Amino acid sequence: MHEMPKPSEHHLKLHRFAGNWVGEEKLSPSPWGPGGSAMGRLTGKVDLDGFFVVSDYVETKDDKTVFRGHNVFGWDGQANNVVWYWFDSMGYPPAAASRGTWDGDTLVLRSSSPQGEGRYTFRFEGKDRYYFAIENSRDGGKSWQKFMEGNYKRV
């Protein structure tokens, strides 16, 4: 009888996303709105025997919920990278997971879709703070435009 697999050090590094987080966000103007300031809240937990971190996200403006999302972080041992699935209230299913690697305390993931490319940066600053940015490219990654950034703290 085989022993059940155990989470690796790569899975355990993702556990830092678990917990309750709140942060001020700055959004650029887009087809979905004029941009401006917002507040983001995430509630995450380690799940499925330590192999994944799942979290729910709520963005508010003027005390009204304007956007929601659901994250799933995991580790792909065969490809040797982090996978991130993102589902949100826009209703578009992800074509594939975003994938990336850690460089110290910074995780950078990339995605590709018919709408263009995305780059997502999570930079942890100690145990209770992180910076997050979304950048988009419409020219194959030659140039990037910042869509959103936020600074979050554990609460």
Q: Which domains can be identified in the chain, with CATH numbers?
A: 9-29+36-154 (2.40.128.20)
Q: What pLDDT band is residue 45 in, cutting at 50, 70 and 90?
A: very high
Q: Any idea what the Cα angle at residue 18 is, between residues 136 and 59, rounded to 5°?
A: 50
Q: Give the Cα separation of 21 and 130 in Å (integer).
A: 9
Tokens of residue 16, six digits: 């830092």
For residue 49, the model assigns a pLDDT of 97
Please compute the mean of the pLDDT values over residues 12-30 and round it to a whole number.
96
Any idea which residue has 């194959």 for tokens? 140
Q: Which residues contact 13 (CB under 8 A, 6 or more apart)?
A: 102
For residue 39, the model assigns a pLDDT of 98
Q: Give the Cα separation of 69 and 91 in Å (integer).
A: 10
Q: Give the Cα separation of 90 and 155 in Å (integer).
A: 27
For residue 94, the model assigns a pLDDT of 84
Q: What is the DSSP letter of 141?
A: T
Any idea which residue has 């869509």 for tokens? 147
Q: Looking at the predicted structure, is the pLDDT value of residue 7 above 90? A: yes
Q: Over the stretch 84-133, which tens digit does the pLDDT of each residue have?
A: 999 999 888 888 999 999 999 999 999 998 778 999 999 999 999 999 99
Q: Looking at the predicted structure, is the pLDDT value of residue 12 above 90? A: yes
Helix (H) or strand (E) holding 11: helix 9-14
